[in-house]
Amino acid sequence: MPVAIFRVKDKSMKPSINDGDYVIASRVSYIFAKPKAGDIVVLRHPSGRFFIVKRIARITGKGYFVVGDNKPVSEDSRKFGAVGRDSIVGKVFMVIRE
């Protein structure tokens, strides 16, 4: 499937993406291009139990440092470290407001 739809269930990306919004992510965006700083992506949480939506803040030698736009409430790379390319499901290209 070239796209995936996810429902956001937290406030970590406010005001860009709100609790209850849907995001559509392209699973093929990064076949010919690399993820870059500023991209909003869906990725597997390091625990492997669920998916999260974050913005790539920077690219390091250890992977992608991802953060939520609403930093005070976001669980992100500041807590769990950089994530590998294999954790990224796709690039968000559309937000559907609830």
What is the average per-residue pLDDT within 29-36? 94
Name the residue with tokens 């860009």: 16
Q: Which CATH number fits domain 3-96: 2.70.70.10, 3.40.50.20, 2.40.110.10, 2.10.109.10?
A: 2.10.109.10
In percent, the amount of the chain with pLDDT more than 90 equals 97
- Per-residue confidence (pLDDT) for residue 46, from 0 to 100: 94
Question: Is the pLDDT confidence value at 97 over 90?
Answer: yes
Question: Is the pLDDT confidence value at 33 over 90?
Answer: yes
Confidence class for position 10, pLDDT limits 50, 70, 90: very high
Question: Is the pLDDT confidence value at 98 over 90?
Answer: no
The amino acid occupying position 11 is K
CA 21 to chain centre: 14
pLDDT in tens, 49-93: 999 999 999 999 999 999 999 999 999 999 999 999 999 999 999
